[in-house]
Amino acid sequence: MPTNRTRRHIALLYILSGLFVLRVVVQLIQYFVGVDALPDFERWQSGALPYWVLILLQLPIVVGQVVVIRSAMSGRPLLPARLRLPMTIAAMVYFGSMVVRLVSGLTFAAGNSWLHATLPSLFHLVLATFLLVWLRLESGDGSACGDRRHDRVEHGDQIVRREFDLEAPLAAADEDGPVVATALVDGGR
């Protein structure tokens, strides 16, 4: 059973993904129809990529978000533990660089087409936040994927892995013979 914290993280992933999908759909609407109540088509991109390339890149991002959300809901991590820290660092650099881009474009670099692209910068922040929330779930900080810091129990010189969703029997052997213990697991806490 996911914790309240996990449910909030998953809800945040849904919201961030929804915002990104909304961005993709609105720009598509502006490309084909041009609704006056919405920002012009050109405001949705910096012009660094042709629109057809941009839309081809956005579609796998949306599919990836669906995969991430399904994984978070099932409690199964997607990333091996060794990739979580490098991915988190990359996501933090991505987030920070988009903050710098946004602030630069709103202040001293207002004339630069790439830096002054406010809507793209905001949606890059949405994507970076999605990554950071997902990686927090993956790392086990209130996670549906369990608290990875506590998924192993040491007994003597052996480490025994425990299950997260049941009372898991933990067995190990020491010099006196086998030792069996039961651990009540409460969502990885």
Please write the tens of the pLDDT for every residue from 5-26: 899 999 999 999 999 999 999 9
- pLDDT score at 1: 63
- pLDDT score at 180: 47
> Encoding tokens for residue 89?
């660092």
Question: How confident is the prediction for the chain on average, in pLDDT?
Answer: 82
CA angle 88, 1, 134 (to 5 degrees): 15
- pLDDT score at 3: 85
Map tokens 């809901």 to a residue: 73
Map tokens 């579609």 to a residue: 59
The answer to whether residue 136 scores a pLDDT higher than 90 is yes
The answer to whether residue 148 scores a pLDDT higher than 50 is no
Specify burial of residue 59 (Cβ count, 10 A radius: 0-12, 13-18, 19+). exposed
- pLDDT score at 110: 87
The answer to whether residue 141 scores a pLDDT higher than 70 is no
Give the residues across from 169 on adjacent strands: 182
Q: Which helix (H) or strand (E) holds 91?
A: helix 81-106
Residue 177 or 130, more confident: 130
Kindly report, residue by residue over 56-113, the tens digit of the pLDDT. Answer: 999 999 999 999 999 999 989 999 999 999 999 999 999 999 999 999 999 999 888 8
The answer to whether residue 184 scores a pLDDT higher than 60 is no
Question: Is the separation of the CB atoms in 75 and 2 below 8 Å?
Answer: yes
